[in-house]
C-alpha cells in the first residue's frame, strides 16, 4: 500500500508569521495535531501540539487574560516550529512512513510531490491501514505458528488450512523467540475453519502452533 492511499489531502497549514494563538485555535477547532508550515509554496517547518505545549506560558502565570492573549498573539510560528521535517512522497510505501515515524518518534509526515505539499499522513492513518491489511474482524480465527526451516513449509501450512475448509484472510510474518532461538513466526487470520481439527492436522504435519484464538 502506498502513502497516497492513506494520506489526508490538502492539509491545514500555517505560515511562519502566523501567531501562536492562531495555531492553537486551528488545532482545537480542527481536531488535528500536526500543522505543516508553508512559505511561498515551500514547506519550511512543522508545528505540533507538543510544540505549542512547550512554548505555552506556565499555568501559574500571573498575567491577566488580556495580557496573555497579547503575548500569544506576539509569539510567531517561526519561533517555535520544528525546522527539520521528515517527509515522504505519495509513491512511498506506507511501511516506510511507519518506519520514519517510529525511528524519529514523530506522529505525522508531510507528503511532498515535486517539492510541493500535497498531503499529510499520521500515525492514526498508519494504524487504520494496518487494521485493514490484517483483515481484522470479530468472527475470524487468529493462528500463530512457527515457520519450520525447511523447503515447502509455508505451502504445506497453506495446504492444510485449505483442506480444513479455511480461507486465509491475511498473513503476516514476524520474528519471535521460541525455545531460546529467534524463529520466523506466521500470523494468519482465517475464515471458515474449525480450530481443533486444524490444530491436529498442523501438528501431525510437524508444525509448531503457538496460539489459536477464535
pLDDT, tens digit, for every residue of 115-168? 899 999 999 999 888 877 666 656 788 999 998 888 899 999 999 999 999 999
41-50, 55-64, 85-94, 141-150: range with lowest mean pLDDT: 55-64
Max CA-CA distance within the chain? 76
Domains of the chain by start residue, with CATH = 3-131 (3.10.580.10), 136-213 (3.30.70.260)
Average pLDDT on 182-193 reads: 88
Q: Which residues pair with 37 in a beta bridge?
A: 14, 45
Query: Which of the listed ranges 59-63, 117-121, 168-172 does the model predict with the highest average pLDDT?
Result: 117-121
- The CA distance from 30 to 35, in Å, is 11
Average pLDDT on 171-194 reads: 85
Contacts of 60 (CB under 8 A, 6+ apart): none
65 pLDDT more than 70: no
pLDDT grade for 72, boundaries at 50, 70 and 90: low
Q: What are the two backbone dihedrals, phi and then psi, of residue 31, each rounded to the nearest 5 degrees?
A: 65, 40
Q: What are the two backbone dihedrals, phi and then psi, of residue 15, each rounded to the nearest 5 degrees?
A: -105, 155
**The pLDDT of residue 70:** 52
**The pLDDT of residue 111:** 97
**The pLDDT of residue 176:** 78
The overall average pLDDT reported for the chain is: 86
Query: Is residue 195 exposed (0-12), middle (13-18) or buried (19+ Cβ within 10 Å)?
Result: middle
pLDDT, tens digit, for every residue of 77-89? 998 899 999 999 9
Do you know the residue count of the chain? 214
61 pLDDT more than 60: no
Contacts of 112 (CB under 8 A, 6+ apart): 43, 87, 88, 89, 118
- 73 touches 19 (CB < 8 A): yes
- The CA distance from 169 to 50, in Å, is 39
**The pLDDT of residue 200:** 93
**By percentage, how much of the chain surpasses pLDDT 70?**
88
Instruction: Measure CA 26 to chain center.
Output: 23
**The pLDDT of residue 63:** 45
Amino acid at each position: 500500500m502506498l502513502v497516497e492511499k492513506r494520506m489526508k489531502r490538502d492539509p491545514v497549514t500555517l505560515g511562519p508569521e502566523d501567531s501562536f494563538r492562531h495555531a492553537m485555535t486551528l488545532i482545537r477547532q480542527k481536531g488535528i495535531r500536526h500543522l505543516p508550515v508553508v512559505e511561498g509554496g515551500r514547506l519550511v517547518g512543522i508545528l505540533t501540539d507538543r510544540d505549542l505545549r512547550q512554548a505555552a506560558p506556565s499555568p501559574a502565570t500571573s498575567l491577566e487574560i488580556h495580557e496573555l492573549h497579547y503575548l500569544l498573539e506576539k509569539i510567531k510560528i517561526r519561533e517555535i516550529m520544528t525546522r527539520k521535517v521528515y517527509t515522504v512522497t505519495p509513491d512511498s510505501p506506507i511501511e516506510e512512513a511507519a518506519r520514519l515515524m517510529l525511528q524519529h518518534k514523530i506522529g505525522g509526515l508531510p507528503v511532498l510531490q515535486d517539492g510541493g505539499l500535497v498531503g499529510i499522513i499520521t500515525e492514526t492513518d498508519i494504524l487504520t491501514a494496518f487494521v485493514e491489511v490484517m483483515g481484522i474482524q470479530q468472527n475470524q480465527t487468529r493462528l500463530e505458528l512457527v515457520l519450520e526451516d525447511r523447503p515447502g513449509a509455508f505451502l504445506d501450512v497453506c495446504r492444510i488450512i485449505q483442506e480444513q475448509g479455511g480461507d486465509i484472510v491475511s498473513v503476516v510474518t514476524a520474528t519471535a523467540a521460541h525455545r531460546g532461538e529467534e524463529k520466523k513466526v506466521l500470523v494468519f487470520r482465517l475464515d471458515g475453519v474449525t480450530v481443533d481439527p486444524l490444530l491436529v492436522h498442523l501438528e501431525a504435519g510437524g508444525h509448531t502452533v503457538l496460539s489459536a484464538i477464535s
